[in-house]
A = this chain, B = another copy of it.
Amino acid sequence: MDIKELGEFGLISRLTKDIKPQHSSTLKGIGDDAAVLDFGQEQTLVTTDILLEGVHFNLEYVPLKHLGYKAAVVNFSDIYAMNGRPTQIVVALGISKRFTVEQMEELFSGIRLACEVYGVDLVGGDTTASYTGLTISITCLGVAKKEDIVYRNGAKVNDLICCTGNLGAAYLGLQLLERERLVAEVSPEEAQKAFEGKEYLLERQLKPEARKDVIEALRKAGIKPTSMMDISDGLSSELLHICKESKVGCCVYSGKIPVDYEAVAMAEELNFDIVTCALNGGEDYELLFTIDQKDYEKIIPVEDVNIIGYIQKPELGSVLMGRNGEEIALKAQGFDAFPEGK
């Protein structure tokens, strides 16, 4: 169905029908000039992310439902990275006329699924026509007790550097999708075959998850990180942010950086260095955090957390320690929001 048949208000009511707030903090969701929220004694966290067609996603191979899911989850990830809990989102969409109502329902079904999985309320938004492409701008609110919030600037010398899950797979999934996009134009079956055994890489790129589980496990283990970020631009870039904000240096062991076996195989196939992919790939949405050495015993039983290095004095710099003990200065080569040729 053509969107203009429904009009703005018709589309909004179609996309948001049956949305019922789950959070006690959501007093009034969609349907007024602003949503009304009550955070009581907790502090409010707010973060925003904008995704543009052709820059952040390619609809030739990204299903709209996955896109909606990812657009919401990357925002939740930012709230978890403050050691908070996401509670509400508002969604602003710019939609070109090539999209149908059904496609926007697909997109919204992904956003709504993410909200359901993570227990977040969709409380408002703005929807408008665009001349070209699809724009998705989501702002997420969250809450945390004042004493629980973890900033980027709290890392201290001798803290342990931890990262969750594994890195580089989302980037390698993207490379695979980009390569097979060209193949698929000629032979969709062949492209499909090329994906076999690489499902994990595709999932990491197309449907990332935020590490709510780790945040909960850390709380249960009685650990409050000294600093934390989510890894959206790449491990190197995020580590340097933490070091800069905390005015410290770091040493990371390249052999300790966690990678998945599918990622290793894919990197080999593409003739990429897997450590470089893990350091600079981005979009893994894992958590990077530092903990006090005294919490070492406590972190061991926490699932899916890897200790990859330690914080050192700023004058020692931020370095990657190779397998043979060689030191290489860390450089930020993460996602470039303003690449050449755009």
Contact between B126 and A31 (Cβ–Cβ < 8 Å)? no
A63 to chain B, nearest CB (A): 21
Contact between B8 and A337 (Cβ–Cβ < 8 Å)? yes
Asked if A22 is at the interface (CB within 8 A of a chain B CB), the reply is no
Asked if A165 is at the interface (CB within 8 A of a chain B CB), the reply is no
Contact between A47 and B124 (Cβ–Cβ < 8 Å)? yes
Q: Within 8 Å CB of A4, what residues of B?
A: 338-340, 342
Contact between A45 and B50 (Cβ–Cβ < 8 Å)? no
Contact between B137 and A92 (Cβ–Cβ < 8 Å)? yes
Asked if A292 is at the interface (CB within 8 A of a chain B CB), the reply is no
17 A-B pairs (CB sep. < 8 Å): A8-B336, A33-B47, A33-B152, A35-B45, A35-B47, A36-B149, A37-B43, A37-B45, A46-B139, A47-B124, A48-B92, A50-B135, A52-B94, A55-B94, A55-B131, A92-B137, A96-B342
Taking Cβ atoms with an 8 Å cutoff, the residues of A that contact B are 3-4, 6-8, 11, 27-28, 31-39, 43-50, 52-56, 78-79, 81-82, 84, 88, 90-97, 123-133, 135, 137, 139-142, 144, 146, 149, 151-152, 228-230, 245, 336-340, 342
List 20 extra interface pairs beyond A4-B338, A33-B229, CB under 8 A. A3-B338, A4-B339, A8-B337, A8-B338, A31-B245, A32-B82, A32-B152, A32-B245, A33-B230, A34-B81, A34-B142, A37-B44, A37-B45, A38-B43, A38-B44, A38-B146, A44-B44, A50-B135, A55-B131, A132-B133
